[in-house]
Amino acid sequence: MSQVHAFPKPGHNHARCTADALRKAEAVCAARKSRLTEIRRDVLETVWQSHVPVGAYDILSHLNENGGKTAPMAVYRALDFLMENGLVHRIASLNAFIGCAHMGEEHHAAQFLICHSCGTTAELESAPLKRALTQAVSERGFTIDSQIVEISGTCPHCRAA
Amino acid sequence: MSQVHAFPKPGHNHARCTADALRKAEAVCAARKSRLTEIRRDVLETVWQSHVPVGAYDILSHLNENGGKTAPMAVYRALDFLMENGLVHRIASLNAFIGCAHMGEEHHAAQFLICHSCGTTAELESAPLKRALTQAVSERGFTIDSQIVEISGTCPHCRAA
DNA sequence: AGGTATAATGTGATGTTATAACATATACAA
DNA sequence: TTGTATATGTTATAACATCACATTATACCT
Ligand SMILES: [Zn+2]
Ligand SMILES: [Zn+2]
Ligand SMILES: [Zn+2]
Ligand SMILES: [Zn+2]
């Protein structure tokens, strides 16, 4: 069941990741009666080109590769939509965005492992960590609204190399 | 000993916080043979004007209040120095900076509680949380270099009000 | 179908945060 | 004192993000 998610491997079949993600996104939006419009889908697809967080202006460049004329605002609006619907996360320490690995699974925590060698970023999603955090915070009389956990280091694959 | 740090109270004697911070900073720099130059000290003092994280350009404005002509670069360089020496932290989710509450005490974690009502931001510094984090991360074969934990919510004082 | 409200997108300007590149000045040790 | 590393000055620009307002598309009611 609650298996520890493996860190994305260098040579994995990423086309499947992307396809899965887009399919799930369609389902989530259908369920929520949110409209996954063309630009939103394009942005999501761009974000899913890899497991490396991508900047808003990189997304923009990608969209405009073939002579498009999309403006930054459109990208940010699409990203806002995708974040509101739990399809994309923002990595604050990088000012960049990454596809959510747990669409629709209502995961509360946004915890990330960021390899500063290959850039690959994965969701940690540790329940014990979440508990420790909740405990520590409530001990201090603080009420949580949102949290950011971003851990930078070296991923297993880069470490092996 | 390892007492739970109280969240800064609204009416506390903050002049003492500032004075303590500057004194400790002098000591830390002396010990490390780092030079706390005028601009670095000015930036540190500005950062310590409150327990609310302050943006680089706000610091800049403050420095230039009386006709100064400091450039952004100077502020960022001072902030880099202060961060390298553990005197200031960056709050990634706010693009802002705050004085370190544990100067010289070699605390490894940078964990913050951010009240989005009053802006007051305090270091959490929870050992159990740090352990849970280390555990969860190493289970996944990841090697930590640095971490960011930023929790937004309502502080005890704002909650009471 | 037509009308109307809401949602989404287009567009241009601007705001905010951060760094590059190179010149000059200062500290400090040999 | 003189060389070298460190710190600062200066100008420009990169990178990230939002405002404000116009236009278009879609939903949904009559
Ligand atoms: Zn993949
Ligand atoms: Zn890696
Ligand atoms: Zn204080
Ligand atoms: Zn508060």
Q: Are residues B87 and B150 in the same domain?
A: no
Residues A72 and A20 in one domain: yes
The verdict on residue B1 lying in a domain is: no
Work out how many domains chain A is built from and give that number.
2
Query: Do residue A81 and residue A139 come from a single domain?
Result: no
Residue A3 lies in a domain: no
User: Tens-digit pLDDT profile for chain A (161 aa)?
Assistant: 434 577 999 999 999 999 999 999 999 999 999 999 999 999 999 999 999 999 999 999 999 999 899 999 999 999 999 999 999 999 999 999 999 999 888 766 689 999 999 999 999 989 999 999 999 999 999 999 999 999 999 999 999 98
Does B6 fall in a domain?
A: no
Looking at the CA of A12, which ligand is closest? 1
Residue whose tokens read 């202006």: A57
Any bridge partners for residue A153, and if so which? A115, B144
CA nearest neighbour of B70 among B57, B55, B60:
B60
Question: Does B116 reside within a domain?
Answer: yes
Q: Quote the ligand 2 centre to B18 CA distance (angstroms).
A: 41
Please give the pLDDT value at position A105.
81
In our burial notation (b when 16+ CB lie closer than 10 A, e otherwise), range B80-108 reads: ebbeebbbbbbbbbbebbbbbbebbeebe
The whole domain housing A122 covers 107-161
Domain of A87, CATH number, reads 1.10.10.10
Find the residue closest to D8 using CA and C1' atoms.
B74
pLDDT for B108: 60
Burial class (CB in 10 A: 0-12, 13-18, 19+), A121: buried
Q: What values do phi and psi take at B146, rounded to 5?
A: -150, 165
Shared-domain flag, residues A92 and A67: yes
| Digit-coded pLDDT (tens) for B10-55 | 999 999 999 999 999 999 999 999 999 999 999 999 999 999 999 9
The answer to whether B124 contacts A136, with C-beta atoms less than 8 Å apart, is: yes
Q: At B161, which CATH number?
A: 3.30.1490.190
B2/D16 CA-to-C1' distance in Å: 40
Per-residue pLDDT of B52-103, as tens digits, reads 999 999 999 999 999 899 999 999 999 999 999 999 999 999 999 999 999 9
Instruction: Give the C-alpha separation, B32 to B30, whole Å.
Output: 5
Please indicate, yes or no, whether residues A114 and A84 belong to a single structural domain of this protein: no
Looking at residue A69, what is its pLDDT?
A: 93
User: B4 falls in which pLDDT band (50, 70, 90)?
Assistant: low
Whole-number Å distance, CA A33 to C1' C3?
A: 24
Task: Give A11 Cα–ligand 1 centroid separation in angstroms.
Answer: 9
pLDDT the model gives residue A104: 80
HSE, CB side, 13 Å, CA atoms: give it for residue A141: 13
Do B83 and B23 share a domain, yes or no? Answer: yes
| pLDDT (tens digit per residue) in B106-156 | 766 689 999 999 999 999 989 999 999 999 999 999 999 999 999 999 999
Q: Are residues B95 and B76 in the same domain?
A: yes
Report d(CA A80, CA A90) in Å as an integer.
10
Using the predicted structure, report yes or no on whether residue B6 has a pLDDT greater than 90: no
Residue A57 has what pLDDT?
98
pLDDT for the residue numbered B106:
72
State whether A76 and A19 are in the same domain.
yes
Residue B155 inside a domain? The answer is yes
Residue A87 near residue A99 (C-beta atoms within 8 A): yes
pTM for the predicted model, two decimal places: 0.93
Q: Which residues contact B107 (CB under 8 A, 6 or more apart)?
A: B123, B125
Last residue of a domain, one of A85, A103, A121: A103
